Amino acid sequence: MNALFQPVTLRSLTIPNRVWMAPMCQYSAEMAGPNAGVPHDWHFAHYAARATGGAGLILVEATAVSPEGRISPADLGLWNDAQVTAFRRITRFLTEQGAVPGVQLGHAGRKASTDRPWEGGAPVAPGEHGWQPVAPSPVPFDEGHPVPDELTGDQIREIVGQFARAARRALDAGFRVAEIHGAHGYLIGEFLSPHSNRRTDAYGGSFENRARFALEVVDAVRAEWPEELPLFFRVSATDWLGEEGWTGDDTVRLARLLKEHGVDLLDVSTGGNAPRVRIPTGPGYQVPFAARVRAETGLAVAAVGLITETRQAEKIVAGGEADAVLLGRALLRDPFWPRHAARELEARVPVPPQYLRSV
C-alpha cells in the first residue's frame, strides 16, 4: 500500500491522488486588446498534457483578478467573460481525464508590470503594455523598480472585491479548487511582511493588522466559493530575512486564522519578497515548514520545493509531513511523472484508453 496514490477528500471534493501540479506562470497570453489574459492553445496543451500524465489536481498558474494585478502583461486573468469562456475548454478536458481543475487567484502588487523572465523580467513602463504598480507601502521591490503607489482604503476594498468576483468567474469557468496567492512577495504577501508593509493604519504595524488584508480576501472569496468546495491559500513560510521579515512562527499563527476563516489547505512555499536573499536550497528544503504547520495547527498542507523523486514524494506523504506534494519543474520536465511514479510504487491508476497499449 502506498500513500502517494491514495485519494484525499477536502470538503465534498475527492482528489484521486496526492501528486499535484503546482501553479507555474507561462507568460504566454496576449498582452492587450480583447484577448488580453485569455488562455489559448498553448495553455490548453500545457495543462492537458499533465492531466493525461496522471496529476490528481492541476492548479492553473497565477491568474490575475484585474489587469493591474498581472505579474507581466502576458499573464492570464479572470476579470471578464471572454476569459471564463476560454477556460471552460481547459477545465472540461482536465475533468474528462480524471484530474481536478484548480486555479490560483492573485494580484502582483509592487511586482506587477514586469517583462517575461526569458526577456529579462525588467519592469515594463506605462505606454509599453505596462502600468503603475500598487502596494501596501511606497517601497520598490528592488533597485531599478518603480516606487509603487500606496493603496488607499478604498483601493484595498476594491481589490478585495476583485478577488471575490474572480472567484465567482472561476466557478463559472469550471474550476473545483480555488487558491489565493499569498506568497512570493506579491500583494497579499507584501501586506503580511513587515519588510514590505510600512503602513501605520489598520493594515500595518501589528501582526493582526498586517494579516487583515489576507483575511478580508479569504472571507470575500469564501463567500463566493461554494461551501462544498475547498479553498487553498499559498504562503511563503519565510522571507528568509529573519525577524526583519515574515517568519515560520508567523506562518503557523496565520495558518490557525486561515483555518478559522474557511481555508482547507495551506500550500507552503518560501521566499520571493526580497531580491538576492540567500536561501539554503536542497531536496525538499521547504517541506519542514509545511510539516510544522500540519503538526501544530491540524490544517491540511501541500509541500513544494525540489521534490523530484518518487520515493522522496512517497516518504513525505506517508510520513505525515504533508497531505500532498505539488510538483513544479519535475512536471515541466516530464508531464507523465505521476504515471512513472505509480509504476515504481506498483500503484494502480486510471490510464486513458488511447494509451493502454503502453501499460
Task: Quick: pLDDT tens for 33-44.
Answer: 999 999 999 999
Distance, CA of 309 to CA of 143 (rounded, Å): 38
Annotated catalytic residue, options 186, 203, 285, 355: 186
Residue span of the structural domain in which 184 resides: 17-347
120 Cβ neighbours under 8 A, 6+ residues apart: none
Give percent helix, percent strand, percent coil of the chain, each to the nearest 5.
40, 15, 45
β-bridge mates for residue 62, sequence order: 104
What's the pLDDT at 125? 94
Q: How many domains does the chain have?
A: 1
- 216 found inside a domain: yes
Using an 8 Å Cβ cutoff, are 173 and 84 in contact? yes
What's the pLDDT at 174? 98
Q: Rounded mean pLDDT of 296-308?
A: 98
Distance, CA of 94 to CA of 38 (rounded, Å): 18
Can you give the CATH number for the domain in which 146 is found?
A: 3.20.20.70
Task: Quick: pLDDT tens for 124-183.
Answer: 999 889 999 999 999 999 999 999 999 999 999 999 999 999 999 999 999 999 999 999
Residue 186 bears catalytic tag = yes
- 168 found inside a domain: yes
Task: Quick: pLDDT tens for 238-252.
Answer: 999 999 999 999 999
What is the DSSP pairing of strand 149-150 with strand 265-269? unpaired
Average pLDDT of the chain? 97
What is the grid cell recorded at 317?
A: 506523504
Of 178, 257, 166, 170, nearest in space to 213 by CA:
257
Dihedral angle, C-alpha 35, 38, 40, 44, nearest 10 °: -170
What's the pLDDT at 134? 98
Task: Quick: pLDDT tens for 83-116.
Answer: 999 999 999 999 999 999 999 999 999 999 999 9
What is the DSSP pairing of strand 8-10 with strand 13-15? antiparallel
Confidence of residue 351 (pLDDT cuts 50, 70, 90): confident
**What are the DSSP calls for 30-86, one per residue?**
BSSSTTBT---HHHHHHHHHHHHTT-SEEEEEEEESSGGG-SSTT--B-SSHHHHHH
pLDDT reading at 350 higher than 90: no
- 45 found inside a domain: yes
Q: Give just the sign of the alpha carbon dihedral 245, 250, 254, 255.
A: positive
What's the pLDDT at 279? 95
Q: Rounded mean pLDDT of 315-340?
A: 97
- 121 found inside a domain: yes
- 8 found inside a domain: no
pLDDT reading at 1 higher than 80: no
Q: How far is CA 45 from CA 14, 37, 39, in A?
A: 25, 17, 11
- 41 found inside a domain: yes
What's the pLDDT at 200? 97
β-bridge mates for residue 135, sequence order: 150
Distance, CA of 239 to CA of 246 (rounded, Å): 5
Q: Rounded mean pLDDT of 53-64?
A: 98
Distance, CA of 28 to CA of 180 (rounded, Å): 21
What's the pLDDT at 232? 99
**What are the DSSP calls for 324-343, one per residue?**
EEEESHHHHH-TTHHHHHHH
- 162 found inside a domain: yes
What's the pLDDT at 212? 98
**Percent of the chain, pLDDT > 90?**
96
What's the pLDDT at 349? 82
- 1 found inside a domain: no
Q: Is 282 strand, coil or helix?
A: coil
Distance, CA of 267 to CA of 298 (rounded, Å): 14
